[in-house]
Amino acid sequence: MNELTVLEERLATFQSVSILQIDKATHSIGITFNYLGEIYTGYIDAVTENVELIRHDRSNIGCIHNVGSTTLNKLVSFFDDLPSIQTICS
């Protein structure tokens, strides 16, 4: 199984993440997610597992701000640590 397929399957486990693009030429996947009312886009290199994150301006989604770089493992850990809504229900 190639890196892109493995990465796509790994990301598909997170309901809050949408896969925007799978680019075979660059071995990368583009994702988007919403966190605390902000829309983020991430570009993940399937080989190095480096992630570049940008945040979209609320009033103009086309206006973007570089958040920085991280790793796939840190991003996955972030999503793993988010509580589910069921944790506040009785």
Query: How many domains is the chain partitioned into structurally?
Result: 1
Task: Identify the domain containing residue 11 by its residue range.
Answer: 3-88
Global pTM? Answer: 0.85
Give residue 1's pLDDT: 55
4 in Cβ contact with 24 (< 8 Å): yes
30 in Cβ contact with 41 (< 8 Å): yes
In tens digits, the chain (90 residues) has pLDDT values of 588 899 999 998 888 899 999 999 999 999 999 999 999 999 999 999 999 999 999 999 899 999 999 999 999 999 888 888 888 887
